[in-house]
Chain A
Amino acid sequence: MEILSFLARRIAQGLVIVFLVSGLIFTLLRVVPGDPVRLMAGGMAPEALINEIATKMGLRDPIPIQFMRYMGHVVRGDLGESFVRPANGASTGGSSFDDSTRGARAKVLDLIGETLPMTLQLAGVAVAMALVISALIGIPGGLAPGRWPDRLAFYVSSVFISLPNFWLGIVLTLLLSVKLGWLPAIGYGGFAYTLLPAFVLAVELSPVLIRTLTGSLASIMQEPFIAVGAVRGLSRRRIIANHALRNASVPLLNLLGVQFSGLLGGVLIVEYIFDYPGLGLLTINAVLQRDFPLIQGIAIVTSAIFVFINIAVDLAATMIDPRLEY
């Protein structure tokens, strides 16, 4: 019962957050320079035609009215159609004003549906890599505070946090793909194309995870219940695995939820550099083309994902540590 009430409360909060984010993005898109109708209709379109199309599409109505109309469609599961992309999903440009024959435009939900799994795959592999890197470096560091494994963890996380992801992406591509030919890098032609961009994202995610794991593990190893474990005759390996790491994983888990929001920023750049056909590349092209419905749709879906992940993380944390309240 308690869990249901927790879920209901958090989902209600989440809906408010998604609504506010949508409203903010919707408003900002309409006040920035660049008329999407001119992009749709083409630079040569006469002003009268621009106004006619804009009026027909309701783009000259007050922003609150436009927003409420848009949200009315969203609650019915309709995120609208892309302003510029045809149904085959190609990124387009160079349209002309009196061309009424550009064929069916792509549905925003379809475009997101095609690219989101790619980004989730990339993000999933990146998080898995980041956790492995963090565990390999952070656990020894936490178990030996002040000694060389701790210092190594500090140096590694300092180096990782100093590496810009676009630079690292280019350097790793030159090294691992161009020079050594070990990994493919550009575009997507199979799972192997995920590894290099995921590693770049993992390097971006790891420093905070390493520091958190090192700090929390070092602190937990000083707790009385750890010392008591040895008195109870438990082996050091069992104390660390079953007690210390379990407790240390709670702050790590909470941090992962926050890190996912950072991951989106990284995904934008990394997908662009690697031409990886995910939500990040779709977002960049949508912004460059002023494709308002697509940008809005992506904003709603990503904010909903963040809300969902944070609810899931809180739920998982309370399961790991029953002392935490729902």
Chain B
Amino acid sequence: MTRAGVFGASAMVLDPAFLCSSAMAQTSKPMVFLSAENITGNWDPTAHTTLSQKNVEGFVMGFLTRTPMRLDDPEKTNYELATSIKLLDEHRLEIKLRNDIKFHDGKPFKAEDVKATIEYGALPDRPAQWYPGPTSGLTITTPDDYTVIIDTTKGGYPADLFIFLASFLPIMSATDVKGGPSGPLTQRLNGTGPFKFDGQKGNSTVLKANMDYFHGAPKISEIHFNFVGDATTRMLSLLNGEASIVERLEPEQVATLTKNPKIKTSTIVSVENKYLWFRCSKPPFDNPLVRQAACHAIDRASVLELLGSAGHESSNFVSPVKFGYIDLPNYPKFDPAKCQELLAKAGFPKGKGLPPLEYIVSVGFYPKTKEYGEVITGMLQEQGFPVTLTVLEPAAWNERLYDRPGGGPGHMIDCGWSTGSPEPDLVLRTHFYSKSKRICGIVDPEIDASLDKERNAPTLEARKKILQTETMPLLADKVPALSLFTSVMIHAMQKDLDGLFIYPDGSMDASKATNG
């Protein structure tokens, strides 16, 4: 072969186009969502409380209802798998279902699926524990294939608690549930939603359009739900067009992105409040006076100023988009004199005699947490609290987060709590009831009694009244945690991504969305 022949042959083999081809040439049309949080290793919806995985479920699974939870109408409900939900009496709820729906594996959706989902999810050994009581307190009957009656008489709590939960609990197939916690539920998602679970490859979850979706086939053919831990990387990927939408933007990133003509942002007051949790089961925060004093030392207005667009002012333990929210008149306000008075009353004048205290915050997941952690530490120190700040990356922080016998690590810890339903007990009962007390570790019979009273109220109106006039004010007096603010969910997306509806917990309805 001649030299020219050698070059000719190599030219046939090597395609130099890859060296200069556009990035866009390799970017396909699916909607690429970059998540700030990783998923768990188990697809069973009852096995986790992880927000990113709830977001994936939002695309794939079907729900009896959906609640948009906007500030102007927080209790609005849209019917999905259910056609009506009616309270027959205090303890019986009737749910009528659509009769034209199939699961992604082809199984027709029926009342047995709702029954199986609730009976399985309410088992005491299921980790997520979203239900007001265990399966043993429920009697669920299915008079026909499309009617479900939930009877809570045995549990002793009202059936209306299931009204808000209906918008939050993904409905599983009875066949899958029959396989139990080691069966097909763990291996993949099988729902009735607009997108089908196609597979998991490394950090990418691939979903494909469900052409038989009952509201009509989605226009987007695929969704790639990718975990990308670094905020800058997520933003760069959006800017170069490889990502369609990214979440958990820092306020500075919002300022940069709003100047870009190809990008639009979405800001929604979320269901997530951020809290400073006191470790109530060990000194000194086992004393309510010390907790109150610490709350009066913190100027929440300064924290909000630092957060900028990522925070929304609220004065309650739940988000303003949750059922029962009011600005509590007795919610602790910044008042150094009151702080000193309470410290003296607790036996620690000007903080003298308090043990060294540790405040734990995370960095890398929630926006600006390290920054406001420093501010709060300074405020507490100014009033005499001997506090040191510990900043941890998410895995180490998560390892220290929850209550343990004798009290969780440190004395105060930062964490947000987000549940995609107007139901306030998903926060209040989860955290402040003595049998649950996930983070703060509080055991207080008075709070328990008030939480039981509001749960057992015969009507939603009566429940709202008890929440607003008794339970929530009681919590504001005892402050097992201080809710600092409500998070604002900020997403940025390509301008040509239209029709996407974002719920206040970050889950999305992409069934009517178009991507370019």
**A interface, CB within 8 angstroms of B:** 33-35, 38-39, 42-44, 46-47, 84-86, 88-103, 105, 114, 170, 173-174, 177-178, 181-187, 189-193, 195, 272-275, 277, 285, 288-290
Nearest Cβ on chain B to A182's Cβ, whole angstroms: 7
Nearest Cβ on chain A to B445's Cβ, whole angstroms: 22
- Tell me whether B229 and A285 are in contact (CB under 8 A): yes
Q: Which residue of B lies closest to A45 (CB)?
A: B402
Which residues of chain B in 42-81 are interfacial with respect to chain A, using CB atoms and an 8 Å cutoff?
42, 44, 47-50, 52-53
**B187: chain A residues within 8 A (beta carbon):** 103
Q: Which residue of A lies closest to B202 (CB)?
A: A89
**A42 in contact with B395 given A92-B40, A273-B230 (CB within 8 Å):** no
Contact of A273 among B53, B233, B239 (CB under 8 A): B233
Contact of A43 among B39, B393, B398 (CB under 8 A): B398
Q: What is the 8 Å Cβ interface bit string for chain B, positions 215-241, against chain A (1 contact, 0 not)?
A: 000000000001111101100110111
Nearest Cβ on chain B to A298's Cβ, whole angstroms: 16
**A186 in contact with B237 given A90-B203, A98-B125, A100-B181 (CB within 8 Å):** yes
Contact of A93 among B186, B240, B395, B405 (CB under 8 A): B395
**A91 in contact with B203 given A173-B240, A189-B26, A275-B237 (CB within 8 Å):** yes
- Tell me whether B242 and A185 are in contact (CB under 8 A): yes
List the one stretch of B16-24, B163-171, B308-316 in contact with chain A. B16-24
**A42 in contact with B127 given A184-B27, A186-B240, A274-B233 (CB within 8 Å):** yes
Contact of A184 among B39, B52, B53, B240 (CB under 8 A): B240
User: Does any Cβ of A come within 8 Å of B98's Cβ?
Assistant: no
User: Does any Cβ of A come within 8 Å of B2's Cβ?
Assistant: no
Contact of B50 among A33, A94, A97, A272 (CB under 8 A): A94
Which residues of chain B in 27-44 are interfacial with respect to chain A, using CB atoms and an 8 Å cutoff?
27, 37-42, 44
**B interface, CB within 8 angstroms of A:** 18-24, 26-27, 37-42, 44, 47-50, 52-53, 125, 127-128, 181-182, 186-187, 199-203, 205, 226-230, 232-233, 236-237, 239-243, 393-396, 398-402, 404-405, 438
Nearest Cβ on chain B to A313's Cβ, whole angstroms: 28
- Tell me whether B181 and A191 are in contact (CB under 8 A): no
Contact of B26 among A192, A277, A290 (CB under 8 A): A192
Nearest first, the 7 A-B pairs at minimum CB distance are A96-B127, A94-B50, A86-B41, A184-B23, A43-B402, A186-B237, A177-B240
Nearest Cβ on chain A to B47's Cβ, whole angstroms: 5
**B394: chain A residues within 8 A (beta carbon):** 93, 288
How many Å lie between the Cα of A132 and that of B202 in the bound state?
34
**B50: chain A residues within 8 A (beta carbon):** 93-94
Could you name 19 residue pairs across A and B whose Cβ atoms are closer than 8 Å?
A: A34-B399, A84-B41, A88-B202, A89-B203, A93-B39, A94-B50, A95-B48, A97-B127, A99-B44, A100-B181, A103-B42, A177-B240, A182-B20, A186-B237, A190-B18, A193-B26, A273-B230, A274-B233, A277-B203
Nearest Cβ on chain B to A249's Cβ, whole angstroms: 25
Nearest Cβ on chain B to A117's Cβ, whole angstroms: 14
**A182: chain B residues within 8 A (beta carbon):** 20, 22-23
**A44 in contact with B402 given A100-B181, A186-B233 (CB within 8 Å):** yes
How many Å lie between the Cα of A39 and that of B182 in the bound state?
21
How many Å lie between the Cα of A285 and that of B200 in the bound state?
17
Nearest Cβ on chain A to B256's Cβ, whole angstroms: 11
**B402: chain A residues within 8 A (beta carbon):** 43-44
- Tell me whether B19 and A195 are in contact (CB under 8 A): yes
**A181 in contact with B42 given A89-B202, A100-B181, A273-B230 (CB within 8 Å):** no
- Tell me whether A181 and B230 are in contact (CB under 8 A): no
**A99 in contact with B47 given A91-B227, A94-B53 (CB within 8 Å):** yes
- Tell me whether B37 and A170 are in contact (CB under 8 A): no
How many Å lie between the Cα of A161 and that of B174 in the bound state?
62
Nearest Cβ on chain A to B285's Cβ, whole angstroms: 19
- Tell me whether B26 and A93 are in contact (CB under 8 A): no
Nearest Cβ on chain B to A48's Cβ, whole angstroms: 9
Residue of A42, A101, A185, A195 with most partner-chain B CB within 10 A: A101
- Tell me whether A90 and B181 are in contact (CB under 8 A): no
Contact of B42 among A33, A101, A272 (CB under 8 A): A101
Q: Which residue of A lies closest to B53 (CB)?
A: A94
- Tell me whether B399 and A184 are in contact (CB under 8 A): no
Nearest Cβ on chain A to B292's Cβ, whole angstroms: 27
**B41: chain A residues within 8 A (beta carbon):** 84-86, 90, 92, 95, 102-103, 105
- Tell me whether A96 and B226 are in contact (CB under 8 A): no
- Tell me whether B40 and A94 are in contact (CB under 8 A): yes
How many Å lie between the Cα of A33 and that of B410 in the bound state?
14
Contact of B18 among A35, A86, A192 (CB under 8 A): A192
Contact of A39 among B37, B186, B395 (CB under 8 A): B395
Nearest Cβ on chain B to A277's Cβ, whole angstroms: 6
